[in-house]
Amino acid sequence: MTSASPAALTPADRPTPRAGALAIEAYVPGKSKAPAGVKLHKLSSNETPLGASPRAIEAFRDAAGHLEIYPDGSSTALREAIGRAYGLDPARIVCGAGSDEILSLLAYGYLAPGDEGVFTEHGFLVYRIAILAAGGVPVVAPETNLTADVDAILACVTERTRIVYLANPNNPTGTYLPFDEVKRLHANLPGDVLLVLDAAYAEYVRANDYAAGIELVSGSENVVMTRTFSKVHGLAALRIGWMYGPAPVVDVLNRIRGPFNLSAPAIAAGAAAIADRAHLDASVDHNARWLATLTGEIRALGLEVTPSVANFVLVHFPETPGRTAAEADAFLTARGVILRAVSSYGLPHALRLSIGSEEANRAVLDGLKAFLSADARG
Ligand SMILES: *Cc1c(COP(=O)(O)O)cnc(C)c1O
């Protein structure tokens, strides 16, 4: 079964990846397993408890009858549905296999080896991966109160800066920048720096001073906005994201992307999902209610919760033995309640909790209560 061992090549003679590739710490997704015999409440990946729209599921099933046919390489039906939902020109939209793909394509398109890409201290980890994979140099801007800081970002910009990624709201902190601040960031960036507004959680935000960035993209040549179907639309398994951008940026992404980067079932299900306003509204309402309830009740237990505008909250634990984030994680996991450890985001004393179903949310509150009242001797 096994072939002879390969002739021993010295490392220098083996295929060598580009510099950057081995500097990447592979992304570790949220856990998804509960111990045997315990009901699983997966609250580790910001997935919606409402599931996908029934119309999206039906479109996905219909697509199963034609799996031998290549998809439409331009995702036309999906771009048109997005255009209708947001009043956008479909020609200025590019779809991707998740917004992760778009974030990577932007790095490949705009970074040459040695060019710098900026993101914030507790920003989404995919930015670092995308920059390194493209041969670029990641530059981290400090945050203030777990929130992006425009002056700190601007202070990181050098002649080598080509791209700035801003998650707004940010994952895993749940904090956001008011639109005035985003505009101030843009106004002070050189015109040859691409500003990427990652608005993966935009639908959930109810703050009056927030905007996802459509207006800024429409009026600028160096701003794009990315969105996803993985969160509020409940289609994470299908991998669908999109970007709205200036025509020249759209053109670059259409040249470098794979010719069939979205599957036909994804195109069909995404188009159906974005047209289902009622499902979207129900998801947002459920979230608003439970975001407030969980934030209040967890604070009442004596834990600090970062104010969030998204579909998750960051819960902070003391460093006291018996009460730490790592111990809480283990305690809750044993009860089937799976949160997200965020040490890789520089937050070793916190856990991120996605807003779940009522049953899951109650299980978290019960679990935290039990954890905090357990004998602290450990
Ligand atoms: C979840 C998330 C995404 C979306 O990723 P997909 O590849 O579309 O599933 C993008 N940005 C942030 C900040 C996220 O948390």
How do the domains of the chain map onto residue ranges? 28-50+278-377, 54-275
The amino acid sitting at 294 is L
Nearest in space to 197 (alpha carbons), one of 259, 272, 135, 106 = 106
Instruction: State the DSSP H helix or E strand holding residue 242, giving kind and residue range, or none if neither.
Output: strand 241-244
Please report the pLDDT score of residue 6 as a whole number. Answer: 62
Q: Which helix (H) or strand (E) holds 302?
A: none
pLDDT (average), residues 269-273:
98
Nearest atom in ligand 1 to the alpha carbon of residue 99 is 8
Q: How far apart are CA 329 and CA 71, in angstroms?
A: 42
Query: Pick from 31, 52, 50: which is nearest to 359 by CA?
Result: 50
* pLDDT for position 43: 97
Residue 1's pLDDT is 47
State the average pLDDT over residues 326-338: 96
Contact 228, 202 (CB under 8 A): no
Minimum CA distance residue for ligand 1 atom 12:
200
Answer yes or no: is the C-beta of 228 below 6 A from any ligand 1 atom.
yes
Q: Which CATH number does 28-50+278-377 carry?
A: 3.90.1150.10
On the question of a common fold for 28-50+278-377 and 54-275, the answer reads: no
Is 80 exceeded by the pLDDT of residue 163?
A: yes
Pocket test for ligand 1, best of 104, 125, 231, 261 (most atoms within 8 A of CB): 231
Q: With contact defined as beta carbons under 8 Å apart, do 322 and 377 qualify?
A: yes
Asked whether the predicted pLDDT for residue 289 surpasses 60, the reply is: yes
**194-206 pLDDT, tens digit each:** 999 999 999 999 9
Helix, strand or coil for residue 258? coil
Establish whether residue 120 lines the binding site of ligand 1, counting it when its CB lies within 6 angstroms of any ligand atom.
no
Mean of the pLDDT values across residues 218-237? 98
CA 262 to chain centre: 18
Q: What is the DSSP string of 312-361?
A: EEEEE--SSTTSSHHHHHHHHHHTTEE-EE-GGGT-TTEEEEE---HHHH
Ligand 1 binding pocket includes 40 (Cβ within 6 Å): no
Average pLDDT over residues 310-327: 97
Three-class DSSP category at 292: helix
Model confidence band, residue 378 (pLDDT cutoffs 50, 70, 90)? very low
38 pLDDT higher than 60: yes
Residue 167 Cα, ligand 1 centroid: separation in angstroms?
9
**CA gap 130, 133 in Å, rounded:** 5
The pLDDT score that the predictor gives to residue 377 is 44
CA of 99 to the centre of ligand 1 (A): 6
Exposure on the CB side of residue 236, measured as CA atoms within 13 A: 12
Higher pLDDT among residues 7 and 304, named by residue: 304
Token output for 289:
């209610």
Predicted pLDDT at 4: 55
Sign for the CA dihedral angle at 230, 78, 209, 161 comes to positive
The reply to whether ligand 1 has any atom less than 6 angstroms from the CB of 47 is no
pLDDT, tens digit, 9 for 90 and up, residues 4-22 = 566 677 877 888 888 788 8
Q: Is residue 233 very low, low, confident or very high in pLDDT (cuts 50, 70, 90)?
A: very high
Span 98-123, average pLDDT: 98
H-run or E-run covering 158: none
Q: What percent of the chain has pLDDT over 90?
A: 89
The three-state secondary structure class of 96 is strand
User: For residue 277, how many other CB atoms are within 10 A of its CB?
Assistant: 10
Q: Which atom of ligand 1 is nearest to the CA of 198?
A: 11
Whether the per-residue pLDDT at 78 is higher than 70: the answer is: yes
For a mutational test of ligand 1's pocket, the pick from 201, 203, 228, i.e. the residue with the most ligand atoms closer than 8 A to its C-beta, is 228
pLDDT at 34 over 70: yes
Architecture of domain 54-275: 3-Layer(aba) Sandwich (3.40)
